[in-house]
Amino acid sequence: MLFTISQRFFFDAAHTLRREIEAEGSRRVHGHTYHAEVFLTGPRDPATGMVLDLGLLRQGLAVVREQLDHHMLDEVPGLGTPTLENLCVFIAQALPADLRPRVSRVRVWREALGDSCVLDFSTH
Ligand SMILES: Nc1nc2c(c(=O)[nH]1)N=C([C@H](O)[C@H](O)COP(=O)(O)OP(=O)(O)OP(=O)(O)O)CN2
Ligand SMILES: [Zn+2]
């Protein structure tokens, strides 16, 4: 049996974005509240009854959040163009090494704008 556990966090960050439409507002420095959810999939450890203690996932996400919250996303090393897609990849790669192999999905969204992106490792 496989189980999927998840944990959410949010961060406030600034960015600029070059776009072909609505270009002017996106090009200026502006901010968003981003939400992210990371999903880990695996079997239960028979000794603990857990895929992984959610407290450990929460600790890992805190490390990732530190690199994004109140940052200028354009300047975050390794992120690239600050899109939702690149944020999904960045979050998956920035997790502690022992958690990374179990990541099955990362979702990043902006509640206020109603847009979101999902990186789904199970379909790759
Ligand atoms: N495939 C993607 N498309 C777009 C992305 C993305 O990350 N992936 N991002 C954007 C913009 O960042 C997003 O739409 C927000 O636009 P922005 O100019 O930052 O803000 P708005 O003017 O739309 O909204 P505000 O409420 O004024 O912040 C576009 N496409
Ligand atoms: Zn924006």
CATH code, domain with 60: 3.30.479.10
**Section 66-71 average pLDDT:** 98
Cα 55 to Cα 31: distance, rounded to the nearest angstrom: 29
Domain that holds residue 45: 3-123
> The whole model's pTM is what?
0.95
Binding residues for Zn(2+): 15, 30, 32
Q: What is the pLDDT of residue 124?
A: 55
**Section 6-11 average pLDDT:** 98
83 lines ligand 1 (CB under 6 A): yes
Q: Confirm if 11 and 34 have CB atoms less than 8 A apart.
A: yes
Pure H helices in the chain: 23-27, 54-66, 84-94
CA atoms within 13 A on the CB side of 62: 6
Q: What is the ipTM of this complex?
A: 0.89
For the chain, the domain total comes to: 1
State the amino acid at position 36 in one-letter form. Answer: A
**Section 68-76 average pLDDT:** 98
Cα 52 to Cα 77: distance, rounded to the nearest angstrom: 29
